[in-house]
Each structure stands twice: as structure tokens, then as C-alpha cells.
Amino acid sequence: MENIFTGKTVEDAVKAGLEALGVKQSDVDVEVLDEGKRRLIGSKPAQVRLTVKPKQTDGERALAFLEGLFPLIGADVAAQLKSEDEKIVIELTAVSAKSIIGRRGEIIDAVQTLAGAVANIGRKDYKRVVVDCENYREDREETLRRVAHKLAAKAVRLGKRVRLEPMNPYERRIIHSALMDDPDVTTKSEGKEPGRFVVIIPKNMKPYEKRDRGDRNRGYNKDRGGRGGYGGKPRYGERKPYPKRELPAEGTPESSGTSFKREGGSSTGYRKGGFSGFFGTYLGKDTEDDRDN
């Protein structure tokens, strides 16, 4: 659509045209036909032509974003909009598919998230965007469904919960959908993003039983022939008896320990010739002759 508008200045002519068309300046291309002139008598008005840009669909907007993104990250990738009816599907073609898919799809998932955010600008209801490369999405979905059924069977067999690795929301939905009609298990998501994961819960899950540590220890010792051993034999050799210290006999010289003799001959103090109750290093005979030598 092309329209010519006039005004005292170019800015006035553009403003008049935007109001008449009911659009924003970013939605039109502006061509100045005449900047206008002031004269001694009267003036010549400015004249502009406004051309409304063709409005992009949500898919086209996402495609244009990706076409500008790949050169910035140094990726030689061609993008094509396949459909945008129920969901927007963009197909990527690259020299090396692994370089754009990444380990476990981290790169292509990030690209898909960005494309989805751009496609849903200004929308009230969210429209799903799928970015694929060499049929990666279909192969991944089939793998996830196969893993879901395999782990569900394991959960039922063991009677225990089975936890899957962290996944993005799209892949978690595939797991939930794959086991939705399974009569033996239920599923739920736990954790926080980006480490949120799916847990498969069997309906025959065994209740938790707290084991008695005493019973466990007795069983351990019984199987191995007693405490800490195997077949009745000590594990680290036989324990040798601690040698008993013999008390000094009557008349044995005093030990080097310190003791005090009580005044008044009390029966509870030190008694000559008896054991003083202190241990120390034996210093030998303590007499006046020895001290003088």
C-alpha cells in the first residue's frame, strides 16, 4: 500500500500519514518526495510517501531471527519454514549436523527456545515452535519412549521409584505421554529447572522398612563366625593379655613417686615397707652412704 501525505515539515507529513494509516513508524518505509520550502508569501508543503511493510507471520519472524543468528555464532546453517498451522516447524540444514545439534541436543534446544520466544512476541496464547535438523526430533522422541517403557518395567519389577536424567519440558512431556496409559505406573516431575527430572512411580511400590542395626550386625557376625572374624578366628590376630604389674613385696625400697607421712601415726597414710600407691621409676637404694658417695 502506498500513500502520499503532506505537512509543513517532513516530520509533520510522516505523523499525519501514520495517524491516517493507523500504524507505527516501524511498520512503514518513508520516502521523502519534497522537503518543502518557505517563501516570502506562503510556503510549499513537504511531501512524503509511506509504504506499509508486508506484515510477517509468527513463523516468518522466527525464521528471520534465526537467519540473522547463525552468522553471528559462526554456524553455516540454512533455515526453512516448513509449516505454521498448529505449530511452527523450522527445518535446519547444516554441513555438520552434530555441530548444530550438540551433545544430547543442547544447541538445537537452545535455538528452539529462542525461536519460540521470538515467534510468540505479542501473542496471548503460546504457539509451539519446533526447530529440527535431519529428523533429530523424531529419532529423539522414539528413543525417549523406548527408555520410558523400559524403566517403567524396571520400576514395577523392583517395586521402587526410578528417576530419569534431567530433561527440558518438551522431553519430559514425551515421557509423561508415553506412560500416561500404563496401568502399573504413574509419573511426576520433580526438582527445579534446569535440573528438573521425571520420576516413574510403580503402583506396587514396597513400603519403606527400617532395618534393625542390631539384627544386621548379628547376622554379619554369625556368617563370619563371630564378632570381627571369619570362621571363629580373630580378624586381626589374637588379643594378648595385658601384663599385670606386681606390687612391691614387704621391705622393697620405695618408688620414686611422692607420698607424705601423716603426723600422729595415722593408719591411713604412708606405711613403711608397704605399697605407697604411686608408680614411678625405681631409683635404687636411698641411704646416707650412697648420698655421700
Whether residue 289 is contained in a domain is answered as no
Say which amino acid occupies 64.
A
Instruction: Identify whether residues 66 and 123 lie together within a single domain.
Output: yes
pLDDT of residue 184: 95
Instruction: Identify whether residues 144 and 120 lie together within a single domain.
Output: no
pLDDT, one tens digit per residue, over 5-38 is 888 888 888 888 888 888 888 778 888 888 877 7
Instruction: Identify whether residues 150 and 187 lie together within a single domain.
Output: yes
pLDDT, one tens digit per residue, over 99-109 is 899 888 889 99
Which segments of the chain does DSSP mark as H helices, in order?
10-21, 58-72, 97-101, 106-119, 136-158, 169-178, 213-223, 288-292
Higher-scoring residue by pLDDT: 136, 209 = 136
CA distances from 190 to 125, 171, 181 (A): 26, 14, 20
Say which amino acid occupies 151.
L
pLDDT, one tens digit per residue, over 55-95 is 889 999 999 999 999 999 888 899 999 998 889 999 999 88
Beta bridge partners of 199: 163, 188
Whether residue 277 is contained in a domain is answered as no
| The total number of structural domains that make up the chain | 3
For residue 106, give the C-alpha cell: 543442547
- Which one, of 149, 152, 112, 148, lies nearest residue 132 by Cα? 112
Residue 16 contacts residue 9 (beta carbons within 8 Å): no
For residue 211, give the C-alpha cell: 532395618
Residue 175 contacts residue 168 (beta carbons within 8 Å): no
Domain boundary residue among 107, 133, 159?
A: 133
Of the chain, the end-to-end C-alpha distance in Å amounts to 132
Whether residue 157 is contained in a domain is answered as yes
Instruction: Identify whether residues 62 and 129 lie together within a single domain.
Output: yes
Contacts of 2 (CB under 8 A, 6+ apart): 49, 50, 51
Whether residue 25 is contained in a domain is answered as yes
- Which one, of 151, 49, 161, 60, lies nearest residue 68 by Cα? 60
Whether residue 217 is contained in a domain is answered as no
Instruction: Identify whether residues 87 and 45 lie together within a single domain.
Output: no
Whether residue 213 is contained in a domain is answered as no
pLDDT bin (cut points 50, 70, 90) of residue 246 is: low
Instruction: Identify whether residues 62 and 117 lie together within a single domain.
Output: yes
Residue 72 contacts residue 111 (beta carbons within 8 Å): no
Coil, strand or helix at 130: strand
Instruction: Identify whether residues 6 and 68 lie together within a single domain.
Output: no
Domain boundary residue among 34, 52, 70?
A: 52
For residue 116, give the C-alpha cell: 519460540
Look up the pTM and report it. Answer: 0.54
Instruction: Identify whether residues 168 and 151 lie together within a single domain.
Output: yes
Whether residue 263 is contained in a domain is answered as no
Whether residue 229 is contained in a domain is answered as no
Residue 63: give its domain's CATH number: 3.30.300.20
Instruction: Identify whether residues 66 and 44 lie together within a single domain.
Output: no
> What is the spatial distance between Cα 115 and Cα 88, in angstroms, rounded to a whole number?
10
Containing structural domain, residue 47: 2-52
Using omega within 30 degrees of 0 as the cis cutoff, is the peptide bond preceding 194 cis? yes
Residue 179: give its domain's CATH number: 3.30.1370.50
Domain boundary residue among 77, 102, 133?
A: 133
Instruction: Identify whether residues 118 and 149 lie together within a single domain.
Output: no
